[in-house]
Amino acid sequence: MNNTSKDHLVDLYLDNLDLITENSAEVLNHARQEGIESFKLLGFPGPKSEKYKYTKVEQLFRSDYEKYFSPRKITFKVDDIFRCDIPSLDTHLALTLNGFYLGNPTSLHELPNGVVFGSLAEAAKKYPKLIQEHYNTVASTDDDGLVALNTAFAQDGVFIYLPKGVVLERPIQIINLLMSDENQMVQYRNLIIAEERSQANIVICDHTLSPAEFLTNVVTEVVAKAASNVDVVVMQNQHNQSTQFSHLYARQERDSVFASNTISLHGGIIRNNIHVLLNDTNCENHTYGLALVDRNQHVDTYSFIDHAQPNCVSNELYKALLDDQATGAFNGRILVRKDAQKTEAYQSNNNLLLTADARMYTKPQLEIYADDVKCSHGATIGQLDQEARFYMQARGISEREARLLLMFGFAHDVVGKIKIEPLRERIDELVNKRLRGELSRCHSCPMHCC
């Protein structure tokens, strides 16, 4: 009975260890042993795991996924097959293909102000001490088998370093492309280090460029040091045959601001984990997310906001719009530890079901051990407001348009939090198209999955 995908993956690891380490860097290899041991111990989160109650993980890690342990040699120019669809967004661009950094022409970019971004493996070779100090210190391999698995397998990904006091005007955009003729499993790792008083906006876009099935298991670690300000927008836009486990871990130091906004525009099965540790006083955290789910898609979000120190503020808003037979889940845990006096923590989860068959499971959780705090949490699951719909119809707006306006308004609450204007406008537009049933892909996507 136990000849599971777990054993298969452990064997896969052992069989390919040479290839895995060869195509990575010492610092990452160093952490692998711990990762695989931990995975052996933890295995996949099972049905009894409260945290993964609504996503059956193990069966998704099918053994028929191909796994490549060296970067794919590409014979085409990426520009020929993929063009970012936010032309007015002027960014520093970082591209990955199936989890490996795509150098264009070099894989490590060093900007004049000391900012480094590019391949994590390359950076780990060039700055081993810096990476060693931070890699695998925010994510934890000992409580989530999937993070352990990622630590064992991850060979590359994107690295971003912001030196002290540097304010990056242009956002850094990471575009993760999946393209393959065969079904593929992809595991990679991102590391973002924001030194004291540095500031940056980071945009992460996930795309699938071929119809094969993809399984992604990605871990992103963010270290936000004192008074830094890091803003991450994630746009997940993959096809129906994709499965994605995305783990975002952030550790915030004194006076820092960290914001994340995860827009799950399209995908097959998406599981987003967000862990934020408010590790010192006066931190500010914003955790936002929006999921647009239809047909048989599934989006499951787990968030854990850990108030470990006093005088921090966190603000969380998640919304999901579910159509057809789609399912969604939200499990949001806020922990206010004993020492975290004067904490302000707010959480809100609102969901709209457009059909009688769509399902949403929500569990807002607030655990408070300090006695001088301001906290609130709440969740709603509802339908489109009939009164509002009639009001619009009474102004000559068709029922369909009225529904669309309401859905769009519902979604805009989250999209409106995006600070970069061209990005916000573009995502608004993609959301609008998505709700209208037009494929909300970027123009370059070859997929016709809707």
Partner 1 sequence: MLSIKNLHANINGKEILKGINLEIKPGEVHAIMGPNGSGKSTLSAVLAGREIFEVTQGEVTFNGKNLLELSPEDRSREGLFLSFQYPIEIPGVSMVNFMKTAVNEHRKYKGLEPLSASDFLKLMRERKELVEIDSALTNRAVNEGFSGGEKKKNEIFQMAMLEPKLAILDETDSGLDIDALRIVANGVNKLKTPENSSIVITHYQRLLDYIVPDFVHILYQGRIVKTGTKELALELEEKGYDWIKG
Residue 390 binds partner 1 (CB under 8 A): yes
Residue 382 binds partner 1 (CB under 8 A): no
User: Could you tell me which stretch among 198-206, 361-369, 370-378, 380-388 binds partner 1 (CB under 8 A)?
Assistant: 380-388
Chain positions 36 to 95 lying near partner 1, rule: CB under 8 A, are: none
Q: Give yes or no for a contact between 243 and 208, defined as CB atoms under 8 angstroms apart.
A: no
- Nearest approach in angstroms of CB 403 to partner 1 is 11
Phi, psi of 394 (to 5 degrees): -65, -10
Host H or E run for residue 36: helix 26-42
How many residues contact partner 1, by CB under 8 A?
22
Q: Cite the beta strand spans of 238-338 per DSSP E.
A: 242-252, 257-266, 269-278, 284-293, 298-307, 313-322, 327-336
Pairing of strands 184-194, 158-162: parallel
Q: Which of 79, 369, 391, 419 binds partner 1 (CB under 8 A)?
A: 391
Nearer of residues 77 and 400 to partner 1, judged by Cβ:
400
Nearer of residues 1 and 394 to partner 1, judged by Cβ:
394
What mask of x and - would describe binding to partner 1 in positions 411 to 450, judged by CB under 8 A? Answer: xxx-------------------------------------
Q: Give yes or no for a contact between 188 and 155, defined as CB atoms under 8 angstroms apart.
A: yes
Q: Which of 111, 370, 388, 439 binds partner 1 (CB under 8 A)?
A: 388
Q: Give yes or no for a contact between 43 and 152, defined as CB atoms under 8 angstroms apart.
A: no
User: Could you tell me which stretch among 12-20, 32-40, 392-400, 442-450 binds partner 1 (CB under 8 A)?
Assistant: 392-400
Residue 379 binds partner 1 (CB under 8 A): no
Q: Which of 56, 164, 408, 433 binds partner 1 (CB under 8 A)?
A: 408
> Residue 181 corresponds to which tokens in the numbers above?
């003729």
Nearer of residues 344 and 413 to partner 1, judged by Cβ:
413
- Nearest approach in angstroms of CB 386 to partner 1 is 9
- Nearest approach in angstroms of CB 321 to partner 1 is 12
What mask of x and - would describe binding to partner 1 in positions 242 to 271, judged by CB under 8 A? Answer: ------------------------------
- Nearest approach in angstroms of CB 358 to partner 1 is 20
Residue 14 binds partner 1 (CB under 8 A): no
Residue 399 binds partner 1 (CB under 8 A): yes
Host H or E run for residue 45: none
136: left (phi over 0), alpha (psi -120 to 50) or beta: left
What number of other Cβ atoms are within 10 A of residue 225's Cβ?
A: 21
Phi, psi of 79 (to 5 degrees): -60, -25
Nearer of residues 109 and 403 to partner 1, judged by Cβ:
403
Query: Which residue's structure tokens are 């959480």?
Result: 347
Nearest Cα residue to 139 out of 96, 192, 67, 184:
192
Amino acid symbol at 417:
K
Nearest Cα residue to 163 out of 200, 195, 201, 128:
195
The site for partner 1 (CB under 8 A) is made up of: 385, 387-388, 390-399, 401, 405-406, 408-413
